[in-house]
Amino acid sequence: REDLWVREGKILNPEKLFFDEKGSADIQLDCKDSIIAPGFIDVQINGGFGVDFSLATDDFKSGIDLVSQKILSHGVTSFCPTLVTSPPSVYHQVLPQISIRDGGAHGAGILGAHLEGPFISKEKKGAHPERCLRTFEAGAFQDLLATYGSLDCVRIVTLAPEMKRSSEVIQELTKQGICVSLGHSVANLSQAEEAVQHGATFITHLFNAMLPFHHRDPGIVGLLTSDKIPAGRRVFYGMISDGIHTNPAALRIAHRAHPKGLVLVTDAIAGMGLAPGRHTLGQQVVEIDGLNTYIAGTKTLSGSVATMDTCVRHFQEATGCSVETALEAASLHPAQLLGIEHKKGTLSYDSDADFLMLNDGLYVQATYIAGEEVWRRDALGM
């Protein structure tokens, strides 16, 4: 129980090593009473450290490299770079520059892009620019393809399920192995349930950019306790646990209603890791004031500047859940959502040796990818 065995980037079953190979460890590390946990997986991150994934720049690749390197200190070992609603030209320029890749000393692994919009509701656009929103016209799925240009590196698409023709789009995306998420939407519960029956499996930042819970029609929020979910399927939901986007009481309600579906996301923007002031989120200018981020000149929240380890600590504090539960919301659940739980999100034998060492306060002390140390807090606490 006390040991974790790693070889060739995988977590090893030591029994086979002892009995079949009569082997022992080449290197032993004393983890000094740390908690060892699977690496965090962030399925919704718009940028950070001055890099905005929704801006088509010549040095986009170096920007994504910078973010993947810097988030290692937050315990993130793989992520889905997220693009907010943008003009088609931006998707056509940016998506070919995102490649799915393993993590390592160079940074966290990239699991594929999360495209949040532009097929979302005008009423619940949040920080998304209205002029770039689109609907499904006669072509439905073809319209989506024309907008994005390619789905090669796409892992998640957030759309509003009340849109006409969305059912066939959800079915087609699901058929291609892309996770469909419901969000930025005014859907009622039956529209949301229908979307799940057609293959949708995720809810983008629950409570944010959707109709508030109403007892006669709970809307998308009602999926957490719906009895119309197909047998054997689980609906997951993202939550921005930064103490700002969702009141701790709302976080507790969601967690108690459906603990196994909760996925912590940062929804971080380019300003994460930078000083307060003006930054971008795609086509918009945003202002950071403490942990609050608003579209400049308004009180519309626009993403967060919280880091994943902060979200884990806040979630645990707000709900009083066990340490394991808090850690699983940032590792196991996102892996299950993406169907990669046999490789990531656990410390099971044969899974990727992506793991963290944390102290009892859940502060990250070291980050490992494929069994190699890729980040460590130094003695000065840097």
Q: Which residues does 279 contact at the CB level (< 8 Å), separation at least 6?
A: 50, 52, 269, 270, 271, 285, 286, 287, 288
Question: Is 267 part of the annotated catalytic residue set?
Answer: yes
Buried-exposed string 268-290: b where 16+ CB fall within 10 A, e elsewhere: bbbbbbeeeeebbbbbbebbbee
Residue 245 known to bind ligand:
yes
**3-state DSSP assignment of residue 153:** coil
Q: Does residue 116 have a known ligand-binding role?
A: yes
Residue 258 assigned ligand-binding role: no
Strands 372-376 and 364-369 turn out to be antiparallel
24 labelled binding-site residue: no
Residue from 236, 192, 234 nearest 217 by CA: 192
Length of the chain: 382
Residue 261 known to bind ligand: no
Give CA angle at 184 (195, 221), nearest 5°: 60
CA-to-CA distance for 212 and 221, rounded, in angstroms? Answer: 8
Evaluate whether 83 touches 54 at the Cβ level (below 8 Å): yes
Residue 208 counted as an annotated binding residue: yes
Distance CA 240, CA 268 (A): 9
Strand 10-11 versus strand 47-48 pairing type: unpaired
Catalytic residue among 42, 52, 267, 309: 267
Q: Take residue 88 and report the two structure tokens written for it.
A: 């088609």
The torsion region of residue 210 among left (phi > 0), alpha (psi -120 to 50) and beta comes to beta
Q: Is 205 marked as binding a ligand? A: yes
Q: Does 127 count as an annotated binding residue? A: yes
Q: Is 377 annotated as a binding residue?
A: no
Q: Which residues are catalytic?
A: 267
Q: Which residues are annotated as a binding site?
A: 116, 127, 184, 205, 208-209, 216, 245, 301-303
Q: Which residues are annotated as a binding site for substrate?
A: 127, 208-209, 216, 245, 301-303
